[in-house]
Structure 1
């Protein structure tokens, strides 16, 4: 790409806020216009590139394509990322103004944009004569070469692009040369076991809240109860377990942070706080600023931990940079996102690409491919052999976590760490020291997380991925590194690993070869708006003797013959399934052959790890980096290959023995096939696999965590179905069974703290009786309800396809009235960013699925309506069928009802987050049975009305003075 062409200054350009209704346009002459989409398109065609916020969203609003609009535009988000990297901002003009400390008007128009631009450039001018200004001038070199439209304005503010004298003209992007290096520290001693008194926990809570904070009567009680999880353990394998149900508004986050932080300080140990999603991790981290307002102290005391695939990989970034610079002008465009990522990475707290401090709209502006390319999503980390090992964000986080007081993790990571600790070879140090105290926030999701963590899947994609990891790229342009490339230098130093290494590589050819999906030659006969797409993998001649592919074909044939339900669409996938048993002869025979082939892979893998372990033990003079590299590689071999192959062999062997009648099984085995969306076509457009889930996934959860743990707190607003047919002791017993508390040796301590809100006065609930299941009727209802609320509405869906259809129908008419509609699975922003926008734009609406139902915290007027399109019954798949049959204690319908009521309670809990909030909950499914209405808080009257009556009632309620405010 040639250097940046000459464009007018953004102050001489038009300023645009594009909307589906009337867009706001400030002309270069200073005229402020409200234009229809058609008029805006025509006007823009006559004007130079506009100043705007979030270019892709503007294109969609005006029905423009990248080739039909002025390219490029002055996007203020680009400039914001350069000026204030690692700063969270909602990608709207209002959000940008708030992030810059400005107070936007109620009605935001395009004349705000030049003010935002001047504010950002003014901040840049203040940096011109600072060391940061010198770094920014150096970064302008690659940005200018990439054709960044802001290069001229930035150069005017801080000075022209300059080479800092390095050997490489784009050295400013090579951040690994400047990032801080971690250094090893002495191992942290095991923590002591001093308890935390309830009185001390209450006092710490008072200190965190500070003077003048909103009083929550149950919060101090919650902090007192939580201290029981920090009592000394009396018996090995018998941790103290506390189940604490804290109603919405209790303030449970700070309630458990108070005793957790006290215990960590007094005992010099770490408490791991685990939650269900990355979005909730971020919320907890934000709450911790109240405990540690000083940023340096917060960084020392608190670490957020996620899987490696969430973080910037410096080696991958270097590969992309080298590729871009080696292609001359053809690679210049790739420099833009890399240079801006470099700017962000130097300011980032922890290099977290997914849900951290990289704005969630980055991928939409600069391409998701760049983010996937710089993350370690292929499991190819070479640890100590990496030239950037000591600057690595992941390694920094691991070492900081060893010294931190509070580690904010997620359920999936905690369970994988616990599982690894139980399977790790004796004497092999783990990258994480096993914590002794856990807090599981959103504890009602523990069974779901355990189900995912401890399941075994032998599918085409899983097995082909293992082959790629072992053998590397086979005739493709992929940068995949196989075992031979990773261990090449170690083979010379440790000759004994050569033979098992090559045995592994030979045995790995029994796994599905490139092109396996196309050779499978079958798929679910499901209606789909997805086009068939051929596999983009390089094809080989069919390996007719490949045992993996023969087994997959046998599974596929059995499924085609026996499936009895319509295909299900889930997260863009179309899937069908059938029971494994009784298996046909072909499945049994191919399973036996594949089991033998996998054992031929398993044996040399084990031998390879033993010889690597022996080398570490027998060579006391080995340098520390080499030792660390080998130990890390042994861990990786076990996690990525040995444990997986071992699980597959066990599953295949068990397949030969049918389940006995009348005996409750430990596992549920079934066959599932999926047609994947176009985004996954490069990995195969059709997949089939054998799935094994625990009937009760809390069994492995309890067994892996009860030995290292001394205390666990499981907390949520919905631990129990306390308003269902079960009551008192029975509801607690059902909760303990579901959460796995009965698998621990010591009976749990129970506590229930009610919500402080007056739901009877602050809320209304409705079941609309005349809306059909047809999309047209559903979309009409959503539009009318969102209009009645004046925005501030959250729409929840049980199916992604229905969400997209409703969004398509209501987006334009609602935005024309000033109620923009954002949607999960439609907008290319992550969930956290969508919620940020929803919270910032008070009159906006948000459509979402499960992730928006749980854990979203939007207090105030920004959320005043929740609408459910359908009763959220459990998905009627094989897994649910078997658990319903075997775990329902003879009451399968109650089992379904309990799950559904708890989902409704979670959704209702999004509505009232503060004492002065109020709002309405609407169910559009007229068939929802009355027995589910007990899910709503006591005092909430649920009215069954027509849509017209519901709208009238809602308008009267939301327009009347707040009863809570008037009481106050």
Structure 2
């Protein structure tokens, strides 16, 4: 229906009907000026008779109306598209209220369709103000392409800017943003930092200056800043870093508490402090806090740099390929053209080119198609570094060089551990991209074991092996733009024939990796393509993966899960052992020429300085790094894993856990990858090994380093329980693997949990009854009038509950959003939840940890069941290794930490009030020590929980949302 609408490139949005929808209702402002309130079906029928509407977030809007987006441009007037075009890096929440706030308007409650005209008028004024600015030239250059693609807003913008044909540069030139980006320049290497310590008084003084006069007093924040200074003291010996474990209760203000001493040390010693956290979203939260230290934007840009892996940034070479591909087609794909134009507009204004969690809106892919972003970053390790024509405008290279001179670098655990790991190998012949720091602050430190497990694990899977083949051989005839090793090396090989022989040997040996179509053959699809070359029918890697699949099918216990299944490797079956030897031989045939190629590239570097240009030298160094990291290290690890398949020793004596795992592939329903996986039994061993060399000082901090608050006696906390809780935390974090014991600090939360919170365990929800579970969520969310976060331990249950309660909550005026359901990223979902005070949000682990939603926007947290550790092979082996005397206590500790993290989302400010509910009557009392001292914890029925929520939480003028929560209402519902 929507696909048949005429293209309105010259239509006026002022003549369009305005539309705001929920899943249940729609507010429509007709072209005649009449505001209608309709149900979803009536609104969908009306839209078929009207011109294309004015709306916010078109794809989400028509999904809420039960319509399916067509596979072509839909000519609605989406205010999000106009906002992005005018303000490409300004943050906006993709709702009427969020957009109104971003434009300085006061949204009504509730927002009706006529509010969209106020938003449109505010943006028209902004566009009119741009008419004579340099910005107008950029806008005008892109408009011919957008108009040709049928973009709804092009005529509206042209009429305001009064653009004349031929006034601007060639349309496709407007997409070639890489020609207009600033170029970075090399700087002299930074000298090693000093070792001057930071006195506690200095840290306190800096903290007070950051906070300024009249700031909220946070008891313990200054004490915390003082404790952090111990991590900045000079180390006593090589490989003996100063370590601080600092647990700072929610509300302590730990971010500014460690930024203050870190900034003092960085300034006094002319060296960086790397602040590492667990997720990209949390990196941005820390970056926002740092703006209080450096309010001047130019100073902050020089002093603070946010670093991520290369795969997060816009690759200009990939973008050039996409632009050239479109320009060469006689009839370009119009949706792709609009998406590229918007991406070019953003790239020219972006601070750092960060596609994932940066200043590109998280809803971009939903509006312009995920395919627009897919492939725009270097996710396959294909970067050609110095050989790239955009090397000196590259966003990644720019951030690397800024980081070399920065005071504070905000990174993530994965990047920090990767860099430290490569440094620990001692390969000093090739300089790394970064000079390793000496001071590391690990925020969200309770996640370090998980980050270490991910960083130091290894997988020999079909996807991993096929990706290596693609990296070596390129696209092999497909439409992919993947560049193979020959293309990345072609100019070097032409100038150095000694490289040709190992290159040919590598490309030949790469055919032993999974060939195109391997996934269909692995999953037994009848129409799967067969290898074109006869000898590839006996592909050794594909035979190996088939043998892995057979052993998994034979040894799997229980029904096949929705996401993954696994079994132990040992003892390896005969069929698997027979399939191992050919693959081992094939991998060794690949490894030998890879090493030869690296040695010959190194030989080129040893030639006199005048024999190679500086760019060539940098290019060769980068290629050696890529070969080692992307290929050699991986193949060496795979060979070591295959040796384990043939090894009959007792697996309990090994430092590793080897298992076979099958996992469903995202976006490929019904298709599973299969692989042999290796994990460290204790992942903090390699963590300590790689960090003890470069680190002079480390802070590991979190609100939940320990699993519980020790019980208090009349004269204070029980010293024995305090010591036990710290000892367990140190074992989990791996500090016993370092030489010097850590300095411990614990700062309690300043909140009055006894008066600000309630904790309820609901006892009458049947286990595994999805209808009852959904009904409980609905009643609890209605009782709180929204502002509710629902947490789940399984994605399948989250989706099932969302399906059952989304419509009735919308009927009540409580919009429901959900991770793993809505197509926006987590950061955008949290922004919506924070802005829409009566909205509800469902999520899993990522919403449980580190999400900061202060104030009334979050007043209820509901956990669907006790978050026990997942009972998989890794957990089984690790609890035997890390808690051999009491495995149950190991389970309890992990579970209490998850409960503490979830409870910590609830109270973020001194005047917050909130209720924590867990819908699991089987939750044992020994886990209740996870909650802060003073929290009132009761086991109640669902009806009583609803009554208490209604009585405890403040009531709101919700603009028509019913005040629910009476027992009689619940009884009627039941």
* Whole-Å separation in 1 of the counterparts to 2:334 and 2:131: 26
* Whole-Å separation in 2 of the counterparts to 1:805 and 1:601: 47
* Whole-Å separation in 1 of the counterparts to 2:801 and 2:531: 39
Q: Secondary structure at the match of 1:290?
A: coil
Task: Tell me: CA distance 1:298–1:162, structure 2 relative to 1, closer, same or farther (3 Å).
Answer: farther
Residues 249-308 of structure 1, C-alpha deviations (whole Å, 9 max, x = no match): 000000000011111111111111000001100100111111111111111111111111
Residues 913-961 of structure 1, C-alpha deviations (whole Å, 9 max, x = no match): 0000010001011111111111111111211111111111111111489
Task: Tell me: CA distance 1:770–1:69, structure 2 relative to 1, closer, same or farther (3 Å).
Answer: farther
Alignment of 1:359-370 (within 5 A): 359-370=361-372
Alignment of 1:131-170 (within 5 A): 131-160=134-163, 162-163=165-166, 166=169, 168-170=170-172
Mapped contact 2:10–2:156 kept (Cα < 8 A): no
Deviation at 1:164, TM superposition (A): 5.3
Alignment of 1:940-955 (within 5 A): 940-955=935-950
The two structures, once aligned, show a CA RMSD in angstroms of 2.0
What's 1:860 paired with?
855
* Whole-Å separation in 1 of the counterparts to 2:465 and 2:71: 44
1:826 aligns with 2:821: yes
Deviation at 1:162, TM superposition (A): 4.7
Deviation at 1:533, TM superposition (A): 10
* Whole-Å separation in 1 of the counterparts to 2:585 and 2:88: 54
Number of aligned residues: 943
What's 2:763 paired with?
769
Mapped contact 2:10–2:154 kept (Cα < 8 A): no
1:694 aligns with 2:680: yes
What's 1:264 paired with?
266
* Whole-Å separation in 2 of the counterparts to 1:675 and 1:83: 40
1:556 aligns with 2:556: no
TM-score (norm 1): 0.95
Deviation at 1:820, TM superposition (A): 0.1
* Whole-Å separation in 1 of the counterparts to 2:808 and 2:500: 67
Q: Secondary structure at the match of 2:331?
A: helix
Mapped contact 2:548–2:675 kept (Cα < 8 A): yes
Residues 581-625 of structure 1, C-alpha deviations (whole Å, 9 max, x = no match): 111222223223322221111111111111101101213111111
1:63 aligns with 2:66: yes
Residues 838-865 of structure 1, C-alpha deviations (whole Å, 9 max, x = no match): 0000000000000000000000000000
Residues 531-562 of structure 1, C-alpha deviations (whole Å, 9 max, x = no match): x8976898776834322122112211111111
1:644 aligns with 2:634: yes
Q: 1:708 aligns with which of 683, 686, 694?
A: 694
Task: Tell me: CA distance 1:539–1:152, structure 2 relative to 1, closer, same or farther (3 Å).
Answer: farther
* Whole-Å separation in 1 of the counterparts to 2:921 and 2:381: 48
Alignment of 1:550-949 (within 5 A): 550-569=543-562, 574-621=563-610, 622-660=612-650, 664-677=653-666, 679-680=667-668, 685-723=671-709, 727-772=721-766, 773-949=768-944
Deviation at 1:169, TM superposition (A): 3.2
* Whole-Å separation in 2 of the counterparts to 1:445 and 1:252: 16
What's 2:963 paired with?
none
TM-score (norm 2): 0.94
Mapped contact 1:292–1:298 kept (Cα < 8 A): yes
Task: Tell me: CA distance 1:69–1:33, structure 2 relative to 1, closer, same or farther (3 Å).
Answer: farther
What's 2:964 paired with?
none
Residues 145-169 of structure 1, C-alpha deviations (whole Å, 9 max, x = no match): 1111000111122122654564x43
Gaps of 5+ in 1: 523-531, 962-968
More divergent stretch after superposition (914-923 vs 505-514)? 505-514
Deviation at 1:7, TM superposition (A): 4.8
What's 1:528 paired with?
none
Mapped contact 1:466–1:641 kept (Cα < 8 A): yes
Mapped contact 2:9–2:150 kept (Cα < 8 A): no
Mapped contact 1:176–1:314 kept (Cα < 8 A): yes
What's 1:527 paired with?
none
Task: Tell me: CA distance 1:946–1:403, structure 2 relative to 1, closer, same or farther (3 Å).
Answer: same
Mapped contact 1:3–1:147 kept (Cα < 8 A): no
Residues 410-440 of structure 1, C-alpha deviations (whole Å, 9 max, x = no match): 1011111111112252221110110100000
What's 1:202 paired with?
204
Task: Tell me: CA distance 1:752–1:630, structure 2 relative to 1, closer, same or farther (3 Å).
Answer: same
Task: Tell me: CA distance 1:535–1:497, structure 2 relative to 1, closer, same or farther (3 Å).
Answer: same
Deviation at 1:357, TM superposition (A): 0.4
Q: Secondary structure at the match of 2:953?
A: helix
Alignment of 1:318-717 (within 5 A): 318-423=320-425, 425-521=427-523, 543-569=536-562, 574-621=563-610, 622-660=612-650, 664-677=653-666, 679-680=667-668, 685-717=671-703
Mapped contact 1:15–1:50 kept (Cα < 8 A): yes
Residues 559-594 of structure 1, C-alpha deviations (whole Å, 9 max, x = no match): 11111133333xxxx321111111122222322332
* Whole-Å separation in 2 of the counterparts to 1:137 and 1:503: 52
Deviation at 1:99, TM superposition (A): 0.8
Q: Secondary structure at the match of 1:329?
A: coil
Residues 853-895 of structure 1, C-alpha deviations (whole Å, 9 max, x = no match): 0000000000000001111111111010111122113101111
Task: Tell me: CA distance 1:70–1:680, structure 2 relative to 1, closer, same or farther (3 Å).
Answer: closer
Alignment of 1:49-88 (within 5 A): 49-67=52-70, 71-88=74-91
Deviation at 1:361, TM superposition (A): 0.3
Task: Tell me: CA distance 1:63–1:539, structure 2 relative to 1, closer, same or farther (3 Å).
Answer: farther
Task: Tell me: CA distance 1:826–1:266, structure 2 relative to 1, closer, same or farther (3 Å).
Answer: same
Q: Secondary structure at the match of 2:798?
A: helix
Deviation at 1:106, TM superposition (A): 2.4
Mapped contact 1:202–1:224 kept (Cα < 8 A): yes
* Whole-Å separation in 1 of the counterparts to 2:81 and 2:74: 14
Mapped contact 1:3–1:144 kept (Cα < 8 A): no
Deviation at 1:57, TM superposition (A): 1.3
Deviation at 1:474, TM superposition (A): 1.6
Q: Secondary structure at the match of 1:577?
A: strand
Mapped contact 1:311–1:354 kept (Cα < 8 A): yes
Task: Tell me: CA distance 1:797–1:452, structure 2 relative to 1, closer, same or farther (3 Å).
Answer: same
* Whole-Å separation in 1 of the counterparts to 2:513 and 2:81: 45
Q: 1:47 aligns with which of 50, 66, 69?
A: 50
1:312 aligns with 2:306: no
Deviation at 1:498, TM superposition (A): 1.1
Residues 817-843 of structure 1, C-alpha deviations (whole Å, 9 max, x = no match): 110000001100000000000000000
Mapped contact 2:73–2:334 kept (Cα < 8 A): no
* Whole-Å separation in 2 of the counterparts to 1:586 and 1:304: 49
More divergent stretch after superposition (292-301 vs 787-796)? 292-301
* Whole-Å separation in 2 of the counterparts to 1:534 and 1:578: 29
1:245 aligns with 2:247: yes
Task: Tell me: CA distance 1:891–1:120, structure 2 relative to 1, closer, same or farther (3 Å).
Answer: same
Mapped contact 2:11–2:155 kept (Cα < 8 A): no
Alignment of 1:82-231 (within 5 A): 82-160=85-163, 162-163=165-166, 166=169, 168-231=170-233
* Whole-Å separation in 2 of the counterparts to 1:424 and 1:349: 34
Task: Tell me: CA distance 1:629–1:6, structure 2 relative to 1, closer, same or farther (3 Å).
Answer: closer
